[in-house]
């Protein structure tokens, strides 16, 4: 212990570590009525780190070559000790990341935390949401299975609906007329280098904005819910008399992470193929399309929307409009009231939107 | 004092749990990263005699390392490890001089593997072999 204290003293003399800890951790106060939903962000950060670690490990044995990719994945699954564990953590982790991300968004939506002055938090969060979808889509191709190959064919093909530039865009995305070895190279570079760096950078910005504006007060519970910020100057939402981030809320974060880990490992150990279909065990065959090819569960609504509209362009435009609306929500919704029960119209729209999304996904799954 | 004892006990339990969790996480990662045992199961290698003409050397894989068969001018057959005893490079057969040269630091060996000059501290390891019906079996 004396040694540890001497080490901390040594660092403290040089960089003033205790001051940083006091300012950012022990002295960083959160609202007294903060709830568990606020720890979704910490879970996501934890998942992201886990995805990076397992991803780096997979890179050791994975070969990004159309002739060898499927074999190398099979080798990881069957030959490398604990290869199955590393890969399953990565695969299951990706689906869980999208799931927790949706919970995070929904909690921010219903607690109205996206409102002024937190537009930039919401925007960076929205960018993260699209980047996570992008990294999931590109990662899907890498095992070079039938599922990967045809899901990517369908997904890249939807860009075709954009007028004028559509066909060129599809070819640009694929690196050729059809999905093939050049597509694998592109998607590999995006999946392991470009998008992860982008996510890390935007996560940094997201946390920086959170730090600057301060954590929002939940609209329910002890305190008043009025937003006193007038938008005429910078202000930090401090919480005098609140609970310190460390150790109090850090422990709550840790508890949430452990609950997440329990759910995550339950899938990894007891139903590892939950997110797989038969086609993911067959090597890609460009000459044979399997029947009933479907995207990952979080793209089912998009997939079904494209099927409903007679014109692909309208289908795509509707989705684009929906996404734009979501991205610009804090600029559209300008009221100061943050209690969901005092905003019936908002509640109807939000719940209706979520039900629509779930309905479309279920329809897409069974169609 | 009693509450202090309980605190120490809980601290120890927590530390033990953390150590156990770290171990069950680290073990799979270590096993995943550890090199796989080489697939070469046979400790013996068969080489037809006609593959090693007089004055020539034949290099081959022997239990995951490089080995060499030499037939000296005059007909003597020798099996050696091709790994230089200096720093582990693979020696080259110099047909015109009938000796082995290690290209890394200039170690020179006779055809029997004895050190002529250069840094190698020991001769090349001799490998046992038998010849039956025109097949050389090393190992």
Q: How far apart are CA A35 and CA A174, in angstroms?
A: 45
Average pLDDT, chain A: 92
Contact list, B34 vs chain A (CB under 8 Å): 81
8 Å CB contact of B32 and A83: yes
| pLDDT value, residue A59 | 97
Asked whether the predicted pLDDT for residue A223 surpasses 80, the reply is no
For B36-46, the pLDDT digits (tens) are 776 655 678 88
- Helices then strands, each counted (H, E), chain B: 1, 10
| pLDDT value, residue A277 | 86
For B65-117, the pLDDT digits (tens) are 889 999 988 878 999 999 999 998 999 999 899 999 998 999 999 999 999 99
The pTM assigned to this predicted structure is: 0.85
| pLDDT value, residue A226 | 57
Q: How far apart are CA A33 and CA A354, in angstroms?
A: 26
Nearest Cα of chain A lies from the Cα of B62 at a distance, in angstroms, of 23
| pLDDT value, residue A278 | 85
3-state secondary structure of B76: coil
| pLDDT value, residue B39 | 62
The phi, psi pair for A358, rounded to 5°, reads -65, -45
| pLDDT value, residue B74 | 82
Q: How far apart are CA A305 and CA A299, in angstroms?
A: 10
Contact list, A60 vs chain B (CB under 8 Å): 32-33
| pLDDT value, residue A265 | 96
Q: What whole-number percentage of chain B has pLDDT above 90?
A: 58
| pLDDT value, residue B33 | 92
Q: What is the mean pLDDT of residues A51-73?
A: 97
| pLDDT value, residue A116 | 84
**Can you say whether the dihedral through the CA atoms of B15, B19, B20, B25 is positive or negative?**
positive
- Residue B124's contacts (CB-CB under 8 Å, 6 or more residues apart) are B80, B81, B82, B83, B84, B85, B91, B100, B109, B113
Nearest Cα of chain A lies from the Cα of B82 at a distance, in angstroms, of 29
Asked whether the predicted pLDDT for residue A304 surpasses 80, the reply is yes
- Range with the lowest mean pLDDT among A7-11, A76-80, A206-210, A286-290? A286-290
Q: What whole-number percentage of chain A has pLDDT above 70?
A: 97
For A95-140, the pLDDT digits (tens) are 999 999 999 999 999 999 998 889 999 999 999 999 999 999 999 9
- Complex ipTM > 0.85: no
Asked whether the predicted pLDDT for residue A216 surpasses 80, the reply is yes
Using pLDDT thresholds of 50, 70 and 90, give the confidence band for residue A162. confident
- For tokens 């692909």, what's the residue? A312
Using pLDDT thresholds of 50, 70 and 90, give the confidence band for residue A87. very high
Q: What is the mean pLDDT of residues B123-130?
A: 92
CB atoms within 10 A of CB A359: 12
Option in A60, A79, A85 nearest B28 (CB)? A85
Contact list, B33 vs chain A (CB under 8 Å): 57, 60
For A224-270, the pLDDT digits (tens) are 555 566 667 888 888 888 899 999 999 999 999 999 999 999 999 99
Most confident of A75-84, A285-294, B51-60: A75-84
Contact list, B31 vs chain A (CB under 8 Å): 81-82
């Amino acid at each position: 212990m004396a040694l540890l204290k001497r080490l901390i003293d040594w660092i403290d003399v040089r960089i003033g570590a205790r001051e940083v800890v006091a300012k950012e951790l022990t002295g960083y106060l959160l609202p007294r009525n903060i709830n568990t939903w606020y720890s979704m962000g910490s879970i996501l950060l934890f998942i992201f780190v886990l995805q990076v670690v397992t991803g780096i490990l997979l890179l050791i044995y994975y070969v990004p070559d159309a002739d060898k990719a499927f074999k190398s994945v099979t080798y990881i699954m069957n030959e490398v000790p604990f290869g199955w564990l590393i890969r399953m953590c990565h695969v299951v982790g990706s689906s869980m990341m999208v799931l927790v991300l949706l919970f995070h968004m929904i909690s921010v939506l219903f607690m109205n935390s996206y409102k002024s002055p937190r537009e930039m938090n919401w925007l960076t969060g929205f960018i993260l949401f699209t980047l996570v979808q992008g990294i999931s889509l590109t990662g899907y191709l890498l095992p070079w299975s039938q599922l990967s190959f045809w899901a990517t064919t369908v997904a890249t093909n939807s860009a075709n609906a954009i007028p004028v530039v559509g066909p060129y865009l599809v070819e640009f995305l694929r690196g050729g007329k059809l999905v093939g070895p050049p597509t694998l190279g592109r998607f590999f570079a995006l999946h392991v280098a470009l998008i992860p760096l982008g996510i890390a950078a935007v996560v940094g910005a997201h946390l920086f904005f959170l730090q600057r504006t301060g954590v929002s007060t939940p609209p329910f519970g002890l305190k008043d819910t009025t937003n006193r910020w007038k938008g005429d100057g910078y202000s930090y939402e401090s919480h005098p008399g609140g609970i310190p981030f460390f150790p109090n809320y850090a422990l709550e974060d840790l508890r949430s992470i452990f609950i997440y880990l329990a759910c995550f490992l339950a899938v990894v150990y007891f139903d590892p193929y939950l997110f797989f279909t038969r086609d993911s065990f067959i090597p890609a065959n460009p000459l044979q399309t399997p029947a009933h090819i479907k995207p990952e569960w979080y793209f089912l609504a998009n997939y079904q929307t494209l099927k409903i509209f007679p014109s692909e362009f309208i289908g795509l435009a509707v989705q684009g409009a929906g996404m734009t609306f979501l991205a610009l929500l804090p600029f559209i919704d300008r009221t100061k009231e943050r209690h969901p029960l005092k905003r019936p119209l908002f509640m109807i729209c939000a719940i209706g939107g979520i039900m629509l999304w779930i309905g479309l996904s279920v329809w897409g799954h069974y169609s | 004092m009693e509450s202090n004892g309980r605190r120490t006990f809980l601290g120890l339990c927590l530390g033990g749990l953390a150590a156990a969790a770290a171990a069950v996480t680290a073990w799979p990662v270590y096993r995943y990263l550890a090199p796989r045992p080489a697939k070469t199961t046979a400790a013996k290698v068969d080489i037809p005699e006609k593959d090693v003409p007089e004055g020539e050397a034949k290099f081959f894989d022997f239990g995951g390392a490089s080995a060499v068969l030499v037939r000296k001018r005059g007909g003597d057959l020798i099996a050696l490890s091709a790994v230089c005893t200096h720093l582990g490079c693979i020696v080259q057969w110099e047909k015109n001089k009938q000796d082995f040269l290690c290209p890394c630091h200039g170690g020179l060996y006779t055809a029997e593997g004895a050190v002529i000059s250069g840094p190698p501290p020991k001769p090349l390891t001799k490998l046992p072999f038998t010849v039956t019906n025109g097949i050389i079996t090393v190992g």
